[in-house]
Amino acid sequence: MCNQLIYAANRIEALAIALVPVKLAFGIKALCSILKLKKLMNHQLDALKFDNRFVTELPCDPDSSNRRRQVAGACYSKVLPTKVCKPQLISYSKEVAQLFDLSDEDCTSDYFAQVFAGNMQVPGMDPYAMCYGGHQFGQWAGQLGDGRAINLGEVINKKGERWALQLKGAGPTPYSRTADGLAVLRSSVREFLCSEAMHHLGVPTTRALSLVLTGEKVMRDMFYDGNPMHEPGAVVCRVAPSFTRFGNFEILASRGDVELLRKLVHYTIKTDYPQLGEPSPEVYLTWLTEVCRRTAIMMVHWQRVGFVHGVMNTDNMSIFGLTIDYGPYGWLENYDPGWTPNTTDASGKRYRFGNQPQIALWNLARLAESLYPLIEKIEPLQEALAVYSDTFKQGYNEMMAGKLGLRHFDPATDEALTDELFQVLQLVETDMTLFFRKLALLDSNQIDEASDDVLLMPLLDAYYLPDELTDKYKARMGAWLRSYFARVRSDGASEDLRRKKMNAHNPKYVLRNYLAQLAIDKAAEGEFSKVNELLDILRKPYDEQPDKEIYAAKRPEWARHRAGCSMLSCSS
């Protein structure tokens, strides 16, 4: 009833705004206002079917105030987004909009911007913030929760799919601690673009429906150097089957609240994994095994495209095996398994590219520990974790076969082949994305008679410092190329099939940090075309786009150390 009253009040407010021109003008102006009012009253957003099982089946925080506090005995707190002064749509994903049958006209309406800035709720929305904990950089951090994310509810679309809608940057919640719950334009552009870029790369990920400028200014200290500045505020609407994280279970186990832990596990299995059957200790283990399997698949994809998350805390790990929470992320430009995009992680490099698969297993072990009170046996939990390792190893080998254009991976020969390649790639600054795309261009029929210089010529664009290609390096890379093409010939696939397979596994376009920063710079000036251009290019990351070649080029020298183009902080 309360939610219905809030909705009614919001609509009355919107209708009053729409009617103002009717009072002030007649004739054509009045007719236009009436037509605008009619559209407002018949918006497709109002037809969304909300299910909201999370709030109806799990206990709510009894304290309805929006003050920062520890929340016990509850899975969430009710909270409304903070209203903003001037919502303005920057961009939206047509593909995500189609999940909800929203047209271009729906998405470009003022009503859409008002709703996804947090100013209004449509019928059925029941906003809340989740309670969860987590291990951050290897240490238990206690209660964390949705400090700047507000869930609007879960929608069942016409295909019967469940999609949760969540606003990031829509104001404080009881879990905001000392923060303001807001987000700035730069981090929001990066979150919006990366969510969709990862989807089109074929990487399991949360999605993004919209990016809305709020018209407010937000204070941030970008470099943590005591020089905060006011920046434009923005809100991203994120979309996923569920935003439940490992930390949702960890916080309950840490508090010894076994009954609520069991209730949350039952809810998760019934709602998110109904194919597993009725919850029981055996099904708990089947569910954990599936989470391990999905997480391993996600890790394989991260390694395939060179993605580095930067903040792989357990509160940033999805129970669906989705990439979630795009903060200081990045793509490997020069191949360096020790690289992290996160300035906070610069010294320890816990979340460096080469360590991500191991960290995922560590995080899964923390999830398994939180489930121990429901199972009280260690061996079956260890068996579930072993599935992660097996799935990752098998998936990684298959992935490398794809990147090299091989029909199958033969451990007897291919482990040494790939190990040597990644050793050589580290010797001279080499762009990982470009190297594998260029490798597909080489012709195995012309390898044996070619000199090392001729062999490397098609690969030169992948090197940041080609002057460092010594004769010793050329000889080693030349030897690897000859070994590789000997393996290609033994594999038996045609050159055409090899190239097609490689180009289906190795993207040409990724969201390099400097490209995102260029879009951010333009957006800060009120020019959003670069955001939308990047969104369009990243829809087809494996395709040749002849008029967009500049976006496939390696990082320019000016971007090597520029803020936002290399490493990033957690500030947003």
> Using one digit for the tens of pLDDT, what is the confidence trace for 58-73?
999 999 999 999 999 9
pLDDT at 571: 56
Residue 18 banded pLDDT, cuts 50, 70, 90: very low
Contact 418, 393 (CB under 8 A): no
With tokens 């690897």, the residue in question is 480
Does residue 255 have a pLDDT over 60?
Answer: yes
- One-letter identity of residue 9: A
pLDDT at 567: 76
Cα gap 191→177, rounded to integer Å: 22
Residue 450 banded pLDDT, cuts 50, 70, 90: confident
pLDDT at 101: 97
Contact 533, 511 (CB under 8 A): no
Alpha helices in 446-470 (DSSP H): 452-456
Reported as a single tens digit per residue, the pLDDT across 485-539 is 999 999 998 999 999 999 999 999 999 999 999 999 999 999 999 999 999 999 9
Cα gap 50→29, rounded to integer Å: 36
Does residue 38 have a pLDDT over 70?
Answer: no
The share of the chain scoring above pLDDT 70, in percent, equals 92
- Centre a 10 Å sphere on the Cβ of residue 382 and count the other Cβ atoms it contains: 11
Contact 162, 475 (CB under 8 A): no
Does residue 32 have a pLDDT over 60?
Answer: no
Cα gap 65→77, rounded to integer Å: 9
Mean pLDDT of the chain: 92
Reported as a single tens digit per residue, the pLDDT across 226-249 is 778 999 999 999 999 999 999 999
Q: Which two tokens stand for residue 249?
A: 């279970």
Reported as a single tens digit per residue, the pLDDT across 380-412 is 999 999 999 999 999 999 999 999 999 999 999
Q: Exposed, middle or buried by CB within 10 Å (0-12, 13-18, 19+), for 375?
A: middle
Cα gap 458→352, rounded to integer Å: 30
Spatial CB neighbours of 390, under 8 Å, sequence gap ≥ 6: none
Cα gap 555→566, rounded to integer Å: 10
Q: Which of 126, 315, 345, 414 is catalytic?
A: 315
330 three-class SS: strand
Cα gap 210→97, rounded to integer Å: 9
The reply to whether 221 belongs to the active site is no
Q: Could you tell me which of 368, 433, 398, 164 has the C-alpha nearest to residue 297?
A: 398
Q: Which two tokens stand for residue 430?
A: 């080499």
Contact 505, 552 (CB under 8 A): no
Does residue 25 have a pLDDT over 80?
Answer: no
Dihedral (C-alpha) 543, 545, 546, 548: value to the nearest 10 degrees? -140
Cα gap 29→546, rounded to integer Å: 46
Residue 41 banded pLDDT, cuts 50, 70, 90: low
- One-letter identity of residue 557: E
Q: Which two tokens stand for residue 448?
A: 């044996």
